[in-house]
């Protein structure tokens, strides 16, 4: 089992003829992802990586069954690309692009949710169901099939944590990088119920960061609804207040988004918080034993 994507998922790549789109589409295909179509306006009727290219998502969706779209489109047009996919009826949209104007994302996230479409990102590494389907930019070889689901705001933390779990023989089911921007399409709280219902996932790792209240919201959900054990990690705990550390969402304003508030929320929810990547493995082992 898995959440969101699996070996049968049919994928569309928006921006497949660009440098980033072409490179990562090729890596996804090599991983085993079923990329069935691409979109680049003005290049319809051509092929890229032996995949047919269309001028619009609507046209591609009329020719192929599409379960998910992944977007490699420059920031000024990225939110519109996500809206295009959503309006064409694509149920899962993964927005990799970083640097998207915040107000563009505010509008896009609201409209896409109203359409009943799930948006992952922007500024995210994507998601992967280990050894089945990769829909993103992560190095697929570090994700070994196992029993732990993972949700992360940080791409690098995603890779390092998954590699540590894989090296320890625990492995992962599905891993979702939700992105580190202030406005994103899917949060920790949105994904926890999916892992809760997945019979193959025996525990969940939540890799958060300073800034915002997503971790506190997740902790409240875990306390009242989560049936499976959860282990957390909080990046940026040594950052000074008011200083952004890497991600646009990783900034502390007043008492909101502080490491202390996140640690306190997880403590109330009974979620242990690791101090290091290796400690994540130890805490997961303890929960699974």
Cα–Cα distance between 209 and 283 in angstroms, integer? 18
Q: Residue 149 in 3-state DSSP? A: strand
For helices 214-225 and 259-269, angle between their N-to-C axes, nearest 10 degrees: 10
Other C-beta atoms lying within 10 Å of the C-beta of residue 179: 31
What is the spatial distance between Cα 170 and Cα 268, in angstroms, rounded to a whole number? 27
- Three-state SS for 42? coil
CA 120-151-276 angle, to 5 degrees, is 140
How far apart, in Å, do the first and last CA atoms of the chain sit? 21
Reported as half-sphere exposure (CB side, CA atoms, 13 A), residue 189 has a value of 12
DSSP per-residue letters across 194-256: HHHH-TT--EEEEEEESSSSHHHHHHHHHHHH--S-EEEEEETTTPPTT---SSTT---BTTB
* 247 annotated active-site: yes
Are the CB atoms for 250 and 236 separated by under 8 Å?
Answer: yes
Query: Catalytic: which of 24, 87, 141, 247?
Result: 247
Distance of CA 240 to the CA centre of its chain: 27
Given a contact cutoff of 8 angstroms between Cβ atoms, the answer to whether 191 and 3 are in contact is: yes
Alpha carbons within 13 angstroms on the beta-carbon side of residue 126 total 25
- Known catalytic residues are 247
């Amino acid at each position: 089992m898995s959440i969101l994507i699996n070996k049968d998922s049919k994928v569309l790549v928006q921006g497949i003829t660009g440098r980033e789109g072409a490179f990562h589409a090729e890596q996804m295909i090599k991983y085993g992802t079923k990329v069935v179509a691409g979109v680049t306006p003005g290049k319809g009727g051509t092929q890229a990586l032996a995949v047919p290219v269309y001028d619009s998502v609507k046209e591609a969706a009329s020719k192929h069954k599409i379960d998910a779209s992944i977007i490699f489109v420059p920031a000024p047009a990225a939110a519109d690309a996500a809206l295009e996919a959503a309006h064409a009826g694509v149920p899962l949209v993964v927005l990799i692009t970083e640097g998207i104007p915040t107000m563009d994302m505010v509008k896009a996230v609201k409209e896409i949710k109203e359409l009943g479409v799930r948006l992952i990102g922007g500024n995210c590494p994507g998601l992967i169901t280990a050894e089945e389907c990769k829909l993103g930019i992560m190095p697929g070889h570090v994700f070994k099939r196992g029993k732990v689901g993972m949700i992360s705001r940080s791409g690098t933390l995603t890779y390092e944590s998954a590699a540590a779990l894989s090296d320890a023989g625990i492995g992962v089911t599905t891993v979702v990088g939700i992105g580190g921007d202030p406005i994103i399409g899917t949060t920790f709280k949105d994904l926890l119920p999916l892992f809760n219902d997945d019979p193959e996932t025996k525990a969940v790792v939540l890799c958060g960061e300073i800034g915002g209240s997503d971790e506190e919201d997740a902790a409240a959900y875990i306390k009242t609804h989560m049936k499976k054990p959860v282990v957390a990690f909080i990046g940026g705990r040594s950052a000074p207040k008011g200083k952004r550390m890497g991600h646009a969402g990783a900034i502390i304003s007043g008492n909101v988004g502080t490491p202390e508030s996140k640690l306190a929320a997880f403590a109330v929810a009974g979620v242990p918080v690791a101090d290091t990547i290796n400690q994540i493995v130890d805490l997961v082992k303890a929960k699974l034993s």
